[in-house]
Amino acid sequence: MVIILRPDATPEQRRAVESRLRELGFQIVLAPDPPPVVMAAVGEGSMPPLEQMRAMPGVAEARRIPEPFKLASRTFREADSIVRVGNVEIGGPTVVLMAGPCTIESEEQMVRTAAAVRSAGATVMRGGAFKPRTSPYSFQGLGEEGLKLIRRVADSQGLLVISEIMDKSQITLMDRYVDIFQVGARNMQNYPLLRELGSVERPVLIKRGLAATVDEWLMSAEYVISGGNDRVIVCERGVRAYETYTRNTLDLNAVAVAKAISHLPVIVDPSHAVGVRDKVAPLARAAIAAGADGLLVEVHYAPEQAICDGQQSLYPEQFRVLAGQIRLIAEAVGRRL
Ligand code: PEP
Ligand code: MN
């Protein structure tokens, strides 16, 4: 249930509403928005008749939240939520470009790639230090050495850092180096990890699982938000289908649906969605046209030498051309880059 107080509600009236909700067995979560006060009553409480709540002094409106993801829903927060990190706003009018290699490999790779993505218009650098590889024999990432490298290189270019976390035991270490925690598709339902990320300060980007429904994806966001961290971004990265020409299938339906039913920023990763370099740009353009708030794209200064996902990594020049096209598309849909 969401309760909106009247702008002139007194502190006593507010306390009375809150104690009534607690009596009924609910926890109260306040929307982090300017007044009027909007509060969600979540948990296993017993639902009172709405008229009863509406009749309380100081209450302007009371409604049920029909969605299972209460705090991630637009019923709770009507306006788009904007995640601010450094100078970057994710979910606002400006479309955000996050780009970089699949995995952090070397100083030369990071320096050359960072310069390229930065000059094209990216504001966040990606790169994995802990890699969830299908084979245990594949390169697993440079770990802390990689995190140090991406932090140093990103700082020298004025870029923010996003990197994947695979386990809650990595939080303390990664917190020292990254600006945004990325939860990978394979970990979308790693509930102990999501719970722990509810108590970090930094934003969390949650990729959609390989076969997750939109409800399941947003419920993963709900874990983090209900833990106390409302700086959550969701990312569509393609779902598994029957097609064999491409790695996965980009589900733009999910982007339009998530934007409609949730206030959270939605990012699209066209690289893992399609898995083929020359198909990344068309999907990236379509994603922005469909209303995505930004892109997470794999770019490598020399993709043919990449340790991981070279086949889907853009050359710097391709990324530069794409960014120019994104600028035009963003303007066409009332945004900017
Ligand atoms: C990645 O971003 O490199 C990655 C492993 O992505 P996903 O979790 O979407 O497979
Ligand atoms: Mn990758």
Ligand of minimum distance to the alpha carbon of 269: 1
Ligand 1 pocket member 207 (CB < 6 A): yes
Q: In this structure, which residue's CA is closest to atom 1 in ligand 1?
A: 102
Q: Among candidates 210, 198, 203, which has minimal Cα distance to 88?
A: 203
* Helix (H) / strand (E) containing 151: helix 144-157
Ligand 1 pocket member 184 (CB < 6 A): yes
| pLDDT attached to residue 83 | 98
Ligand of minimum distance to the alpha carbon of 182: 1
Q: In this structure, which residue's CA is closest to atom 9 in ligand 1?
A: 185
| pLDDT attached to residue 204 | 99
Ligand 1 pocket member 132 (CB < 6 A): yes
Using DSSP bridges, classify how beta strands 59-63 and 2-5 pair: parallel, antiparallel or unpaired: antiparallel
Ligand 2 (ion): residues with CB under 5 Å are 102, 309
Ligand 1 pocket member 185 (CB < 6 A): yes
Q: Among candidates 156, 160, 159, 184, which has minimal Cα distance to 170?
A: 184
The CA–CA distances, whole Å, from 314 to 37, 148, 291 equal 46, 24, 22
Task: Report which ligand 1 atom has the smallest distance to the Cα of 186.
Answer: 8
Q: What are phi and psi of 167, to 5 degrees?
A: -150, 150
**pTM of full prediction above 0.75:** yes
Q: Among candidates 132, 232, 229, 260, which has minimal Cα distance to 186?
A: 132
Q: In this structure, which residue's CA is closest to atom 3 in ligand 1?
A: 102
Section 274-287 average pLDDT: 98
Task: Report which ligand 1 atom has the smallest distance to the Cα of 132.
Answer: 5
Q: How far is Cα 294 from Cα 88, in angstroms, rounded to an integer?
A: 12
Q: How many CB atoms lie within 10 A of CB 264?
A: 29
Grade residue 111 by pLDDT with cuts at 50, 70 and 90: very high
Section 270-299 average pLDDT: 98
Token pair 């995505």 is at which residue?
292
Q: How many CB atoms lie within 10 A of CB 158?
A: 11
Cα angle 223, 227, 230; round to 5: 85
Q: How far is Cα 120 from Cα 134, in angstroms, rounded to an integer?
A: 32
| pLDDT attached to residue 154 | 98
> 59 CA to middle of ligand 1, Å?
45
Ligand of minimum distance to the alpha carbon of 131: 1
pLDDT digits (tens, 9 = 90+) for 84-93: 999 999 999 9
Residue-wise DSSP of 295-334: EEEEB-SSGGG-SS-GGGPBPHHHHHHHHHHHHHHHHHTT
Ligand 1 pocket member 128 (CB < 6 A): yes
| pLDDT attached to residue 324 | 98
Q: How far is Cα 203 from Cα 175, in angstroms, rounded to an integer?
A: 11
Ligand of minimum distance to the alpha carbon of 128: 1
The count of residues in the chain is 337
Q: What are phi and psi of 322, to 5 degrees?
A: -60, -45
Confirm if 121 and 284 have CB atoms less than 8 A apart.
Answer: no
Token pair 């993801």 is at which residue?
69
Q: Among candidates 247, 106, 104, which has minimal Cα distance to 162?
A: 104
Ligand 1 pocket member 237 (CB < 6 A): yes
Ligand 1 pocket member 102 (CB < 6 A): yes
pLDDT digits (tens, 9 = 90+) for 227-272: 999 999 999 999 999 999 999 999 999 999 999 999 999 999 999 9
Q: How far is Cα 45 from Cα 10, in angstroms, rounded to an integer?
A: 25
